[in-house]
Structure 1
Amino acid sequence: MDLVPTLGARLLIQLWRQLQQVSRRRLPSPYVWLCPERPRFCLLSKEEGGSFGFHLQQELGGARHVVCRVEPGTSAQRQGLREGDRILGVNRHAVEQEALEAVARLIRASGPRVLLAVVAGPALDTARAQQGDGALLCPTLGPGVRPRLCHIVRDEGGFGFSVTHEHQGSFWLVLSPGGAAERAGVPPGARLLEVNGVGVETLTHSQLSRRLWQSGEQVTLLVAAPEVEEQCRQRGMPLAAPLAEGWALPTRPRCLHLEKGPQGFGFLLREEKGLGGHLGQFLWEVDPGLPADKAGMQAGDRLVAVAGESVEGLGHEETVSRIRAQGSRVALTVVDPKADRFFRMVRLSPLLFLESAEAPASPQSTRSASGAETEDPPGADTALPRAPRGSRQCCLYPGPGGGYGFRLSYVASGPRLSISQVTPGGSAARAGLQQGDEILEVNGRPVDGEDDVDRLHQLAEAEPPLCLKLGARSPRGWSGL
């Protein structure tokens, strides 16, 4: 006989079909929304000339950060942020144990987009009762297991990838061996998330092809390797741009360390309109030979942070006050016009791509100038031992293929052990290693002989990270090993 489903049965069938669609789209498993103790994620976009649309306060008698107001019609409301939500994470940082000001600083530094991990107050209380106050409830992604922002420059073989798709908005990349995409760090089988800062979830295959063609000779892709996609699915995390690590980016922010000399810092700060008509704080009239010039400041640089704290959206007087509050030593994070255009295009803050322990910036990205030439630059990374003047520290993590992306040379006279080749887009390239860099120490052990080549290869196979102390680049020739 014919079976006519009841209303309840039809609803169950409809729910089952929806869950099947969720699975096919590789979104987080349904149990994430059925478990109130698991955080939910809100990807917010800053309103033009405004804010994300919510207010934050610290819970009385505790260290929890509570959303106290959500503005109607804003990104925060559209993405489901609610009054009373507790913030557990900002981008890739767990903030449950952080002070309120540190949380606000991370949100401000995120720029146009921020990813918040939140949980409703009652659910957090339940989880704390079950797991204890010391348990961290915010899932995180480790180094090398995050989405990648890859900048690809077209060569004679094109961009070096083709696109496959299941349905609208779901695209995966097939790489050409040795092609431009592979050299730029795109992992095999990567899922495509964004093209030049624009999501692809609403695009058809023909619209995506047109957008790639319109990119010209260069394109910046946000991609996720299969293992990253699986890690995010298991943790209930979205594949969001603010989680990304940068691979072979055409430019990066620069951190300048200045110490005031007898004639001052040697630059002028001026508020004016920059790209898109946005007001910003720009650096001009850099005096030759004074600390700002020695630190690598360039006329036309835009100031984005003072002592690591974002100054985006601040007025001129408040920015000047923050610089003066640092006294005779100050650390300024700046972007030149090219970097400014790039990060505005991808809609991410340059502060997300500052040097860190797992992926330090290039040696040109951090320069120092001081009135006392023998002193270490202020603001040095306290997580690493201080290096002698003229040297620097780099900690490397293996890339997707397991290697660090560089080759060695040994020279009998002069600098003994140096970098002979750096793979573009590899771990070494992202850490700022360049051809000719002399290796002084490996994991804290001095390097001074030919036997160290074998020892370095052995250390490269040990537990990461691989920490190198590097000297200045050598002008001598190199002989490959």
Structure 2
Amino acid sequence: MEAAAAGLQEAAPVALKFEFNPKLGIDNPVLSLAEDRGPSDVWLCPERPRFCLLSKEEGGSFGFHLQQELGGARHVVCRVEPGTSAQRQGLREGDRILGVNRHAVEQEALEAVARLIRASGPRVLLAVVAGPALDTARAQQGDGALLCPTLGPGVRPRLCHIVRDEGGFGFSVTHEHQGSFWLVLSPGGAAERAGVPPGARLLEVNGVGVETLTHSQLSRRLWQSGEQVTLLVAAPEVEEQCRQRGMPLAAPLAEGWALPTRPRCLHLEKGPQGFGFLLREEKGLGGHLGQFLWEVDPGLPADKAGMQAGDRLVAVAGESVEGLGHEETVSRIRAQGSRVALTVVDPKADRFFRMVRLSPLLFLESAEAPASPQSTRSASGAETEDPPGADTALPRAPRGSRQCCLYPGPGGGYGFRLSYVASGPRLSISQVTPGGSAARAGLQQGDEILEVNGRPVDGEDDVDRLHQLAEAEPPLCLKLGARSPRGWSGL
């Protein structure tokens, strides 16, 4: 395929295509850049990344083609489809993609960038810069400098689910003009308990932007929400951070607070007869095709891992399968071998994330630790379709154990430290970084590590092995024992 912009003659062929049907809706205005840009606007501040929030509807895509330059890690937009979200939001041929949502991707492989875009679902925020400007910035700052601004944990917009109580939703609304709203919280009210920060700016109500609403229209939407409402909000410090970085207050950057439901990551290990479930392609919410899990055999690994009949499969081994056909999805599951990680949503979660127009995979990292043995845990057993294998069942998990799956944070770490003691629990959590991946997954100081990615922990060598796993492909899955009342000395 020929290059789409000058200077890209040596670029690799287009590896991925993202399309968008212009007949399907428009972008959410509150999360978009104010207006489409003219061609000359791209060069007003060429050394600073531009942010393009792209939207798509079910079955569509974003409207651009992406390729990677030979001999480099630069991800080049080689074609933008006319009339699409990509064109309306200012994406240009020759732009280099520096960030996807909250991830800097300048040093990532093309496939990794594609996975992040697919996992973003209906909306994705791209940080881009024109090719010549990137070359100039690299010459000034060096190839190792990262040019993509990011927001750290705790300094992002929040997606907060509020359940009405006897005091209502627990907030009132102030405004300066149409589309600009701030929340005043009632002390101890429902909104405060749901994580809405003081003085928060209101961005969305149930997945719909408020930028074009009058105060009366907003009041009507809140009243129509009934007994619960989901708000996208930004604290004053988040607004300031985004302003300084030139970033929009975009929903794909959001952290989930008190959400009514979450995606579930199920870890299965095949036994002599397989996994114990059937996968079917059928129409789900809104008549859209998806891959659904059915005929979960009682007592077999899928059942033990917490799979429920009617769950929809959204990812295999952390990679989105949204939009894939049945045969390709099955192939990806089988390619994982005897151990597979499946990310699923039940019908309630499916309805929620479709309402807010965000992928459940954006909230997998911050998923809370399971509250019961049925939530997320490893299992072994059988699947009705596969031939018998040589695998055997793992020992039953100790009473009170739980499974936590971690994904690295923005700095690449998981946010915890280990300690090893020759007697008693040998490997335990000595420190958990507040707000980090480990803290959000429910790890606590003193937790004993029983298994790492399905392998039992039984010796001093496991410390080195766990540090090596920190550099492996995520997620890092730990089986944890109950907290020990004793403290442990760090290594």
TM-score bracket for this pair, using the shorter chain length: 0.7 to 0.9
CA distance in 1, matches of 2:473, 2:320: 35
Worse overlay, 400-409 or 347-356: 400-409
TM-score, normalised with respect to structure 2: 0.73
* Secondary structure, aligned partner of 1:366: coil
1:318 to 1:147, Cα distance in 2 relative to 1, 3 A: same
Whether 1:2 aligns to 2:19 is yes
1:56 to 1:442, Cα distance in 2 relative to 1, 3 A: closer
CA distance in 2, matches of 1:313, 1:83: 26
The answer to whether the 8 A contact 2:20-2:85 is kept is no
Map of 2:314 onto structure 1? 304
Worse overlay, 70-79 or 277-286: 70-79
1:455 to 1:116, Cα distance in 2 relative to 1, 3 A: closer
The answer to whether the 8 A contact 2:276-2:381 is kept is no
How far off its partner does 1:415 sit? 13
1:78 to 1:361, Cα distance in 2 relative to 1, 3 A: farther
Could you list the per-position Cα deviations for residues 130-155 of structure 1 after superposition, in whole angstroms to 9, with x for gaps in the alignment? 10110000000011111000000000
Worse overlay, 316-325 or 32-41: 32-41
1:431 to 1:281, Cα distance in 2 relative to 1, 3 A: same
Map of 2:92 onto structure 1? 82
CA distance in 2, matches of 1:297, 1:2: 33
1:440 to 1:170, Cα distance in 2 relative to 1, 3 A: farther
How far off its partner does 1:366 sit? 2.8
More helix by share: 1
* Secondary structure, aligned partner of 1:232: helix
1:4 to 1:375, Cα distance in 2 relative to 1, 3 A: closer
Report the count of equivalent residues. Answer: 467
1:400 to 1:204, Cα distance in 2 relative to 1, 3 A: farther
Map of 2:148 onto structure 1? 138
Worse overlay, 411-420 or 43-52: 411-420
Could you list the per-position Cα deviations for residues 350-395 of structure 1 after superposition, in whole angstroms to 9, with x for gaps in the alignment? 0000135999999865322125999999999999999999645879
The answer to whether the 8 A contact 1:358-1:395 is kept is no
Aligned ranges 1:258-297 → 2 under 5 Å: 258-297=268-307
Runs of at least 5 residues in structure 2 that lack an aligned partner in the other structure:
1-17, 26-31
* Secondary structure, aligned partner of 1:297: coil
CA distance in 2, matches of 1:139, 1:469: 35
What is the aligned-residue RMSD (CA, Å)? 10.2
Runs of at least 5 residues in structure 1 that lack an aligned partner in the other structure:
9-20
CA distance in 1, matches of 2:19, 2:351: 64
Aligned ranges 1:49-448 → 2 under 5 Å: 49-355=59-365, 365-371=375-381, 391=401, 431-432=441-442
How far off its partner does 1:73 sit? 1.1
* Secondary structure, aligned partner of 1:339: helix
CA distance in 1, matches of 2:409, 2:251: 20
Q: 1:25 aligns with which of 30, 36, 50?
A: 36
CA distance in 1, matches of 2:473, 2:318: 30
How far off its partner does 1:278 sit? 0.6
How far off its partner does 1:47 sit? 3.5
Worse overlay, 332-341 or 451-460: 451-460
CA distance in 2, matches of 1:308, 1:215: 33
Could you list the per-position Cα deviations for residues 424-461 of structure 1 after superposition, in whole angstroms to 9, with x for gaps in the alignment? 99999954489999999999999999999999999999
CA distance in 1, matches of 2:414, 2:134: 41
The answer to whether the 8 A contact 1:187-1:400 is kept is no
The answer to whether the 8 A contact 1:406-1:421 is kept is yes
CA distance in 1, matches of 2:207, 2:24: 44
The answer to whether the 8 A contact 2:269-2:381 is kept is yes
1:389 to 1:102, Cα distance in 2 relative to 1, 3 A: farther
The answer to whether the 8 A contact 2:22-2:83 is kept is no
The answer to whether the 8 A contact 1:355-1:361 is kept is no
How far off its partner does 1:181 sit? 0.4
The answer to whether the 8 A contact 1:248-1:430 is kept is no
The answer to whether the 8 A contact 1:294-1:369 is kept is yes
How far off its partner does 1:328 sit? 1.0
CA distance in 1, matches of 2:187, 2:349: 29
Worse overlay, 392-401 or 356-365: 392-401
1:27 to 1:232, Cα distance in 2 relative to 1, 3 A: farther
Could you list the per-position Cα deviations for residues 309-363 of structure 1 after superposition, in whole angstroms to 9, with x for gaps in the alignment? 0000000000011111111111100000000000000000000001359999998
Higher Rg: 1
How far off its partner does 1:400 sit? 19
Could you list the per-position Cα deviations for residues 269-318 of structure 1 after superposition, in whole angstroms to 9, with x for gaps in the alignment? 00000001110000000011111111110000000000110000000000
* Secondary structure, aligned partner of 2:39: coil
The answer to whether the 8 A contact 2:270-2:383 is kept is no
CA distance in 2, matches of 1:120, 1:382: 55
The answer to whether the 8 A contact 1:422-1:434 is kept is yes
1:458 to 1:277, Cα distance in 2 relative to 1, 3 A: closer
The answer to whether the 8 A contact 1:252-1:365 is kept is no
Worse overlay, 444-453 or 43-52: 444-453
